Structures are given as C-alpha cells and as structure tokens.
Structure 1
Amino acid sequence: MELTLGFSPCPNDTFIFDALIHHKIDTQGLDFAVGYHDVETLNQKAFRQELDITKLSYHAFAYAVEDYELLDAGSALGFGVGPLLIAKDEALAEQLTQYAGSFLPQELQKLKIGIPGKYTTANFLLGLAYPLLQNKQELIFSDIEQALLDGRIDLGLIIHENRFTYQDKGLHKVIDLGDYWEKTTQNPIPLGGIVIKRSLPVETRLLVNELIHQSVEYAFAHPKSALDYIRSHAQEMEESVMYKHIELYVNQYSSDLGEVGRRAIQTMFDEAKFLGLVPKTEKNIFLTS
C-alpha cells in the first residue's frame, strides 16, 4: 500500500523521516510517495486534502481537523524553539520589545511584517503577543531575512534554521515568541505536527503512527545515518548548524507527545478558539484507536 506523505526539507523533518522512507525500519508493507514543501504549502495541501499524511502547523490544523487527526509521533514541540520576531533597526527592536502583550502605539501599528504564512503557528503566536500588528506580507520563510535587509519590510517573523543565522547578517531580535508562550502558559510550544486522514482505516493510522515513532527512535540511535539525506535538502549546508537545528526541534515529544505534549496542544487550541482565531470543532484532535 502506498501513501502520500508531505513534510518540509528542513533538517528536523528529514532527520525524523529518513528511516521510514528509506526502509531502514520494517514498514510492514507500506510505501510512501514523498513531497517536500515549505510549511505554508503543506498547510494549503492539507486544506485541499491532497495528502494522506502531512506535516502542518498547529494553527493550520485547526482548519483541517474535520479531515485529519493528529499522530502522537513526529511533532515539533519544545522549550526555546519558537519563532523570532526580528528587525534591521536595533532601536526599533528595543522599542517594540517593551510592548509585547500590551497596547501598541498607533505609529508602530503600521509596521510591515514579513511572515512565513497566514496559517503558521508563528503567525498565531505573533497575534498573541502583538495583536495590533496586522500589516503583514506572506513570504517564503527563507526569503524573510533578505527582505528585511533590502528594506522591503520593517519586521520579520523567522522560523527553522534562520533563527541561527539572522545575527550574522546584522539583524536584531525583538522577541522570542516561543519564550513568550512558555512564560504565559508554562507549556512547551507546539510548532508543527503530523496528521493523517481520518478516512484511512484505523489500523493504517495506528500503524503509520507506530512506524514514525520507530523512525524517530532509529534516528536517535543512529544520528549520523541520515547525514547525506539531510544535507541534500538543507538550506544551510554547515553540518553544525543542521544538527543544532535538529537538537532544538526533535526531542521526546517527536517520539511520542505524551501527556505534556497533548496538554500543550490542547491549550493552544482552546486559546485560539477563545480568541476567535480558529473555527470551533467537535472532533477529537488526537489519534484514537
């Protein structure tokens, strides 16, 4: 049986899925047709139900929950792993920092922000910290730093490996939105999860979850096994940066959400519903047997 599978080319995803798609573990008769896409493209594909299994942002999942359920394996949650809001102007960065979670002066509300997608968790977290920053321009996540340097935007919302490179380009942090979430909720930040179509047989959904769990565990046990594969897809080719990225985004929650991971995701859903940021649903969001 072949299933369509979508995830990003970023090191954390290729690290997680290497053993699965390259049959380093026994996939028990399942094969996977893989597509590599940025997070917002994956979100849109989920909205159109184009993939059997896909990575997507937790914000987007709220709009796809009628058709997909969340697997316990493969997620990106953690402490100190959130998106960053950055600026080219150091004085502006320092000025904005003091307004997180509070009223924003009108002259600052007009600032143009480059975001990696409307439905990204990063954009959701930006809305929690700075609800009045609404002048947003959607960009591919890897283009945001250059747009800042070129003066096309005033602020940039960065994710993935860009959080390790922005300072080298003379850019300045306004706020770590993951840290803001952690201090507000005392939960790890849910960034992205792996979802599977509800229409697939329950035995298939449970098996896929188990196989992704095994793939993560294989990667932990053989961290250099996927190096060539990771490097072939990584935007940042420096090995130390790739593994720093992996260390931040792949952890115990990637193997299994557990009680803490599920609580963090439920908190995010509940907060988003309370603020009217996402549709309400009666569906159970987690994998069920």
Structure 2
Amino acid sequence: MPTDPAPLELGYSFCPNDTFIFYALQAGRIATPAPIREVLSDVQTLNDWAAAGRLPLTKISYRAYFGVMDRYVALRSGGALGRGVGPLVVARAPIDDLNGRRVASPGRLTTAELLLRLAWPDAIPVQMRFDEVMPAVERGEYGGEPLDAGLIIHESRFTYPQHGLVRVRDMGEWWEGETGLPLPLGAILVRRDLPLELQQAAQQAVRESIAYAWAHPQEAKGYIRQHALEMDDAVMQAHIDLYVNEYSEDVGDTGERAVRELHRRAVAVGALSPSDLPLFVPQ
C-alpha cells in the first residue's frame, strides 16, 4: 500500500499578514503536495533557523534570504513587497541625520537594518527584538547606553504615536524615491534540495491559500485573532490590508526587479557576496 507523504513544516510569523495568507494551508482548505504543519515563531528566529536549513518552507526577510541563497530559493507567492509598506525610523524628537547615531534595530538580518545602512552608512544599529524597539526609544536608552532613534516594523507602524514618538523617515518612501520600485520585505522560501515539482506545487498552494483568504475573509479571523496577541481588530485589519497585496499573489516582473536591485545594493555596500543563483522558483 502507498504511504501518505510526510508532513511539510512551514515556518511563519504571528503577524496578521502571515496568518491570513497561510490560514487555508494549515486548515486543510486547499490541496497541498503534502500535509502542512505550521511552525510559528518570530522573524528573527525564522531567520536563524533558515541559516541552519531547519525548515523545508519558511518565511524570512529578504535581507536574510540573500545570505542563505545557496540553501533556499524564494517562492513567487506569499511574500511581503509593496509601496507604502516600509519600516519607519522614529524618535522622541525630529532628527535630520542618523550618521553616528545609535539606532534600535529589529535584527541584523532584517531588511529594515539593510535600508538603514544604505541610507545612513555611519548609523550605529543596536539589535533587539522588534517589540522592544519602541519602549527603548521612548526611554532613550537600551542596556544602559543612550539611544537616539529606532527602526519599527509590523504593527508598530500604526501604534508609535501612542509612545510619544515622531516619524523621522519612512524607509519605504526613501527606497521608492531612490529606485522607483516597490520595497521587498519578506519572502517565502523553499529548500533548493527539494524536487522542482514539489517547489512548484508549494508555490501554487500558497497562491491558492491567498485566493481562499481573500474569498473567505471572515473564516480566517479566528485564527488570525488567536495569534495577534494584544493587537486590536482595527490594527489587525490594517496590517493585512497593507502587507497582503498584488505582490503577495505573485511578485511579477516589477517585484523581481525590486528584489534584484535590493540584492545589488546590498552587495555594493559589502553586506553580502555576489550570487548568480536564481532568486525565484520558476513558474
């Protein structure tokens, strides 16, 4: 008798855009090449796991992806790219120049920190968990050392005024002004050592999961709410509306150009080594 295929572990974050996108996959609402087993964790942990090749499918920041391209390739669907979606730099008071300033960062391998390096090469990033950034900036210190500003991501985009903070720069606007392209933030990766047929089937399954969520938005709400912690419903929905868009369904030619440009600039500033490997699973 044929045996059932082994479950595929899929890592993604607790953020509403991820739980919205992957609701149908983990709930068995659509056909998948193998049963999907969800593994939820914070983005920094997922970045670290990808460096070790732990999961066959995983969400990761594009900056972190560039460092594990020998092991993983990105799906064309399920990622976070777009316009008006970038991380924000916030502070207690307006600042014109962050060069030489200590800036809270949500992680060394985040796209946010790469953008900081591209915009202000001499800024001094101070890494911490993303949910620690706003409280640290509000205090003006972290670990007993002064802190001038912070990079905020995820739902913090919507709540930073509650901490008495002001926006210094929208890094998405900066990127779009520099390149004319949407900003790549996060990608869904599949291990390169898996068969191409399985990679393409996973890509199609993610695309269908997004289509299901768009067609049945109320059905996914309980699952999204379960993982959204203290986030109120308005912020939760704003998060989904912002980060799940046409580029989530498929990066398209414009999205591909954006990813290639981010990779090129990261190589140019010495953040990573060049690579000729394909960036995406073929259609």
- TM-score, scaled relative to structure 1: 0.91
Q: Secondary structure at the match of 1:160?
A: coil
Please state how far the C-alpha of 1:288 moved relative to its aligned partner: 2.7
Q: After superposition, what is the alpha-carbon deviation per residue over 1:16-68, rounded to whole angstroms, capped at 9, x for unaligned?
A: 0000110111225x112221111111111110000100111111111000010
2:277 equivalent to 1:287: no
1:25 alignment partner in structure 2: 30
CA distance, structure 1, for counterparts of residue 158 and residue 234 of structure 2: 11
2:226 equivalent to 1:207: no
1:42 alignment partner in structure 2: 46
Alignment of 1:74-113 (within 5 A): 74-88=78-92, 90=93, 93=94, 95-96=95-96, 99=97, 104=99, 109=100, 111-113=101-103
2:79 equivalent to 1:64: no
Q: Secondary structure at the match of 2:155?
A: helix
Identity %: 41
Letter aligned with residue 193 of structure 1: A
2:228 alignment partner in structure 1: 234
- TM-score, scaled relative to structure 2: 0.93
Please state how far the C-alpha of 1:280 moved relative to its aligned partner: 1.4
CA distance, structure 1, for counterparts of residue 168 and residue 244 of structure 2: 25
Please state how far the C-alpha of 1:184 moved relative to its aligned partner: 0.3
1:151 alignment partner in structure 2: 140
Q: Secondary structure at the match of 1:165?
A: helix
Q: After superposition, what is the alpha-carbon deviation per residue over 1:184-223, rounded to whole angstroms, capped at 9, x for unaligned?
A: 0000000000010001111111100000000001111112
2:149 equivalent to 1:128: no
| Residue of structure 2 aligned with 1:193, choices 164, 187, 195 | 187
Q: After superposition, what is the alpha-carbon deviation per residue over 1:223-259, rounded to whole angstroms, capped at 9, x for unaligned?
A: 2211111111114431111010111100011011111
CA distance, structure 2, for counterparts of residue 68 and residue 229 of structure 1: 28
Please state how far the C-alpha of 1:151 moved relative to its aligned partner: 2.4
CA distance, structure 2, for counterparts of residue 163 and residue 40 of structure 1: 18
| Structure 1: runs of 5 or more not aligned | none
Letter aligned with residue 17 of structure 1: F
2:257 alignment partner in structure 1: 263
Runs (4+) of structure 1 exceeding 6 A deviation are none
Please state how far the C-alpha of 1:113 moved relative to its aligned partner: 1.5
User: In the alignment, is the contact (CA less than 8 A) between 1:71 and 1:194 conserved in 2?
Assistant: yes
Cα root mean square deviation, aligned = 1.3
CA distance, structure 2, for counterparts of residue 270 and residue 84 of structure 1: 22
Letter aligned with residue 187 of structure 1: L
2:111 equivalent to 1:117: no
| Structure 2: runs of 5 or more not aligned | 142-146
| Residue of structure 1 aligned with 2:130, choices 141, 161, 184 | 141
Please state how far the C-alpha of 1:281 moved relative to its aligned partner: 1.4
| Greater shift in the superposed pair: 230-239 or 172-181 | 230-239
User: In the alignment, is the contact (CA less than 8 A) between 2:135 and 2:163 conserved in 1?
Assistant: no
Q: Secondary structure at the match of 1:243?
A: helix
Q: Secondary structure at the match of 1:245?
A: helix
Q: After superposition, what is the alpha-carbon deviation per residue over 1:154-191, rounded to whole angstroms, capped at 9, x for unaligned?
A: 21110000010001221111100011000000000000
Letter aligned with residue 127 of structure 2: E
User: In the alignment, is the contact (CA less than 8 A) between 1:236 and 1:242 conserved in 2?
Assistant: no
| Greater shift in the superposed pair: 274-283 or 181-190 | 274-283
